[in-house]
Amino acid sequence: MPRPGLLAIVVPCLALLCGCATHITRLEPVRAAFHRGDLAEAERLIAADLEKHPGDADVLTLDRALVALADGRPIEAEDLLKEVRDHFDHLEQESPAEDAWSMLSDDQQRSYAGEDHEKVLLRAMLAITNLSSDGGDAEAFSYQAAEKQAEIVAAATAEDGTNPKASYRQIALAPYLRGVLREETHRDYDDAARHFATVVNWQPEFAAGQTDVVRAAGGVHSPRGHGVVHIFALVGHGPCKVVVEEIPSSAALLVADQILSATLTQSLPPTVAPIKVPRVVAAPGLVSAVAVGRAHAAGGVAWQERTTTITDISRMAVEQEAAVHDRTVARAVARRALKKGTVFGVKEGLGVERFGPAALAFDLAGVAWEAAENADTRCWGLLPDSIQVVRMELPAGQHTLALQAVDRQGMPVGRAVPRSVTVADGRNTYVVLQAPDAGLIGEVLASSP
């Protein structure tokens, strides 16, 4: 039997290898403040969380970027997004030490390199953010979004040819932006029509897609003396991760524990704590779209258009997580098996008596070690439910748009917000806004043509 002093060292060491409170728990106040339009409170909470949890810096910086964008600071938002993009790219390199440590604790101990949908949407958000300022890099960012998705899918191909990510939904916003930008050149209409056709193929639910194809194929940007206003709306609550318990896997592991404990020279810690994994869930919120009208000089509004979805972020995230869920569960089961094997090996190495008090102490420590695991719920918490767009052809000159968030029944949410825009003959103007539960929040951004 090992000395009591040795047990006093081993047992606490096992118990210390544990996770911490989940990110989503700490994120809820931030999401609540942002969704009700309290940008100052959301920013304060993010700053406080950054100070306490520097390991979550990247996802918190992504949230800071969307707060900055809503607060009318697109250049700052773009800088923050580029910072995280570059860091995520660096973190895609394998880290054997981090992987090994996470198998002894949980996945919260790994550097977070972003979920697949976040890596793609980061580049899409860069494009939209850039359009609201100078627009010079928007096309490059849109290409990056499509290229990143293709890279992610290609890298997932196994040696046997299977690929769980082959079913990933393509991000139609990327070719849409390229079509919009090519069309404005007044010479690259063939390119524009090709990009719009890709949108129709990838997002057949996008009602305006076929109209865009026909218009570009006809070589027309807008009627003479008119320009185009493109409105990009970040609508609703985006997806987030919650902790779920894999009951079938936990039950199967418990049966395996019992079988092996009956045949091995040492018992295994019983599977008391369920296996926990993250699950992406959608909770779209109250706002469904944004109605757009033109304010009359004499008062009143002529409502003309409503935004429609070009990229369903929640659907994209939920489908992608489902495609790789089995791998996530397999990793959690492997971690649990490794922990059981470690406790078994330590007891064997120390010559612990099978039914003695030391064996019980080690098994209890093993149970505590397993119970300390938690699912990694780090995520880009302030993403919208969807990215929506609407295209309006207007006479060149100054116009005041009226923007009103609406729910699924078409009823107004929050107040209508006026926004002055300048339309130039044959040119594009871009408007970017965010509309979660409080209706339109922060500042409505508009570019100069």
CA atoms within 13 A on the CB side of 243: 16
Q: Are 179 and 192 in contact (CB under 8 A)?
A: yes
* pLDDT reported for residue 2: 40
- Vertex 66, ends 408 and 403: CA angle to 5°? 40
3-state SS assignment for residue 50: helix
What the block records as the tokens of 429 is 């103007």
Element (H or E) spanning 40, and its range? helix 39-52
**CB-CB contact of 442 with 70 (8 Å):** yes
Beta strands in 282-427 (DSSP E): 289-295, 301-306, 308-312, 386-395, 397-406, 412-423
* Residue owning tokens 């539960």: 437
pLDDT at 29: 95
Task: Say which residues have a Cβ less than 8 Å from residue 43's Cβ, sequence separation at least 6.
Answer: 64, 67, 71
pLDDT in tens, the chain (449 residues): 344 443 343 444 444 444 456 788 899 999 999 999 999 999 999 999 999 998 899 999 999 999 999 999 999 999 999 999 999 998 887 666 666 656 666 666 777 889 999 999 999 999 999 999 888 999 999 999 999 999 999 999 988 889 999 999 999 999 999 999 999 999 999 999 999 999 999 999 999 999 999 999 999 999 999 999 999 999 999 999 998 888 767 776 666 666 766 666 676 777 767 888 899 999 889 999 999 999 887 778 888 899 999 999 999 999 999 999 888 888 888 888 777 777 777 877 777 877 778 877 877 777 777 777 788 889 999 999 999 999 999 999 999 999 999 999 999 999 999 999 999 999 999 999 999 999 999 999 999 87
**What per-residue confidence (pLDDT) applies to 252?**
67
199 near 309, Cβ under 8 Å?
no
CA distances in angstroms from 12 to 7, 150, 269, 337, listed in the order given:
8, 46, 16, 20
Say which residues have a Cβ less than 8 Å from residue 28's Cβ, sequence separation at least 6.
Answer: none
* pLDDT given at position 354: 75
Domains contained in the chain, CATH given: 4-446 (1.25.40.10)
> What does the DSSP 8-state code read for residue 373?
-
Whether residue 193 contacts residue 199, with contact meaning beta carbons closer than 8 Å, is answered with no
